[in-house]
């Protein structure tokens, strides 16, 4: 079981996305900035991980996914008491859609794929909050 | 062909992909992620894009064959396709995806069909150019290795 505590000092991240290209890009990007990463293809798998006792410092949550989408997974995680930073990533760039996603319990939301600058800023924020 | 000339050829090919409006800044982001740990990352992601998007192209083709057209379904497919194209920095393909979606919103079937025909051409052209580009890079790396030996 991976997640917090699996490595002494690295920030642990969970990438939740049904797009294999985004999963690959984000995995390499996050690893490059020194983060520990795990990858799942939908929101249900993310929720199941937390149910099994895993925990992550940062979750990158896609909006649209089959089986369980980002808003539903985020609501479920928050209802479980999960306080991890959850950042939405979406190809949708309409403000109203982003606001709806934010309302599910995200800390922030970005257009995907993320850039190195965005991830660096997220890591800074995480370190500051901890 | 000497080493400098090889490198110039690679640089020229790369620049022309941007100058022709085929690629954008996202491609540069992918290049910046390539390193010793992931030496073929850019080619890997591009290959993944063409493999994954083939299914979407087929879905869209089939959906365009139906009557009446389901614009909501077409828009959904194209949204996914656009997301993937954006991920590799396929600028021209991405803009055609945007145009297609506008035609979907307007319920303009003919516009969708014409745009998709053009999109498929540009998608194929980009694939060919990137394949050639990666081959030239590969040969230039081989040449570099030979030079070191």
Cβ of B50 under 8 Å from any chain A Cβ?
A: no
Evaluate whether residue A107 is within a structural domain: yes
Written as one string, the DSSP assignment of B49-101 is: HHHHHHHHHHHHHHHHHSSS--HHHHHHHHHHHHHHHHHHTBHHHHHHHHHHH
d(CA A7, CA A75): 28
Range of the domain at A105: 12-129
Least confident interval from A77-86, A87-96, B119-128: A87-96
CB contact under 8 A, A25 and B30: yes
CB contact under 8 A, A21 and B44: no
Q: Whole-number mean pLDDT of chain A?
A: 91
Q: What is the domain-level CATH number for residue A102?
A: 3.40.50.2300
Is the pLDDT at A2 greater than 50, yes or no? no
Q: State the angle between helix axes of A70-79 and A95-102 in degrees (0 to 180), rounded to the nearest 10.
A: 20
Q: Whole-number mean pLDDT of chain B?
A: 94
Number of domains into which chain A is organized: 1
Evaluate whether residue A7 is within a structural domain: no
% of chain B residues with pLDDT over 90: 88
Cβ of A18 under 8 Å from any chain B Cβ?
A: no
CB contact under 8 A, B33 and A29: yes
Distance of CA A74 to the CA centre of its chain: 9
- The string of pLDDT tens digits covering residues B91-112 is 999 999 999 999 999 999 999 9
A92 CB neighbours in chain B (<8 A) are: 79
Q: Considering only the beta carbons, identify the residue of B30, B52, B88 that sits closest to A20.
A: B52
User: What is residue A33's predicted lDDT score, i.e. its pLDDT?
Assistant: 93
ipTM: 0.88
Evaluate whether residue A6 is within a structural domain: no
Q: Considering only the beta carbons, identify the residue of B26, B41, B83 that sits closest to A19.
A: B83
Q: Considering only the beta carbons, identify the residue of B32, B82, B87 that sits closest to A21.
A: B87
Positions in chain B whose pLDDT score sits under 70: 1, 148-149
Evaluate whether residue A2 is within a structural domain: no
- The string of pLDDT tens digits covering residues A48-70 is 999 999 999 999 999 999 899 99
Q: Find the length of chain B.
A: 149
d(CA B96, CA B120): 10
Please state the φ and ψ torsions of residue A39, each to the nearest 5 degrees. Answer: -130, 135
List all residues 6 or more positions away from B42 whose beta carbon is below 8 Å from its beta carbon: B27, B30, B31, B34, B134
Q: In chain B, which among 1-30 make CB contacts under 8 A with chain A?
A: 26, 29-30
For residue B46, with 0-12 CB atoms within 10 Å meaning exposed, 13-18 middle and 19 or more buried, which class applies?
A: buried
The first and second tokens of residue B55, run together, are 């299914």
User: What is residue A4's predicted lDDT score, i.e. its pLDDT?
Assistant: 46
A28 CB neighbours in chain B (<8 A) are: 33, 38, 41
d(CA A22, CA A38): 13
Cβ of B38 under 8 Å from any chain A Cβ?
A: yes
A32 CB neighbours in chain B (<8 A) are: 33, 35, 37
pTM of the model: 0.89
A25 CB neighbours in chain B (<8 A) are: 30, 33, 45, 87
Evaluate whether residue A3 is within a structural domain: no
User: What is residue A91's predicted lDDT score, i.e. its pLDDT?
Assistant: 83
Evaluate whether residue A42 is within a structural domain: yes
% of chain B residues with pLDDT over 70: 97
Q: Considering only the beta carbons, identify the residue of A20, A28, A112 that sits closest to B33.
A: A28
Q: CA-CA distances (angstroms) from residue B5 to B8, B136, B142? A: 5, 12, 14
Evaluate whether residue A109 is within a structural domain: yes
Around Cβ A20, how many Cβ atoms within 10 Å?
16
Closest-CA residue of chain A to B46: A21
- Report the b/e string of A95-130 with b at 16+ CB within 10 A: eeebeebeebbbbebbbbbbbeebbeebbeebeeee
């Amino acid at each position: 079981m991976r997640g917090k505590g699996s490595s002494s000092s690295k920030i642990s991240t969970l990438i939740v996305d049904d797009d294999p290209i985004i999963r690959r890009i984000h995995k390499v990007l996050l690893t490059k900035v020194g983060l520990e990463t795990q990858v799942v293809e939908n929101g249900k798998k993310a929720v199941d991980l937390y149910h099994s006792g895993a925990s992550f410092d940062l979750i990158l949550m896609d909006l649209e996914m089959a089986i369980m989408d980002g808003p539903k997974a985020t609501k479920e995680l928050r209802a479980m008491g999960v306080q991890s930073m959850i950042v939405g990533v979406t190809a949708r760039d309409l403000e109203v859609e982003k606001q709806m996603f934010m309302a599910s319990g995200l800390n922030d939301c970005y257009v995907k794929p993320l850039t190195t600058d965005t991830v660096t800023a997220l890591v800074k924020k995480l370190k500051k909050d901890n | 062909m000497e080493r400098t000339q090889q490198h110039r050829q690679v640089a020229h090919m790369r620049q022309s992909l941007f100058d022709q409006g085929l690629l954008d800044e996202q491609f540069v982001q992918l290049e910046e992620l390539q390193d010793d740990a992931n030496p073929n990352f850019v080619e890997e992601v591009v290959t993944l894009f063409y493999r994954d998007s083939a299914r979407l192209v087929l879905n869209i083709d089939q959906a365009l064959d139906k009557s009446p057209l389901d614009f909501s379904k077409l828009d959904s497919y194209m949204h996914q396709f656009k997301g993937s194209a954006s991920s590799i920095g396929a600028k021209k393909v991405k803009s055609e995806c945007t145009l297609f979606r506008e035609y979907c919103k307007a319920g303009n079937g003919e516009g969708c069909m014409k745009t998709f025909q053009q999109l498929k051409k540009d998608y194929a052209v980009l694939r060919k150019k990137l394949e050639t580009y990666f081959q030239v890079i590969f040969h230039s790396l081989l040449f570099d290795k030979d030079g070191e030996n």
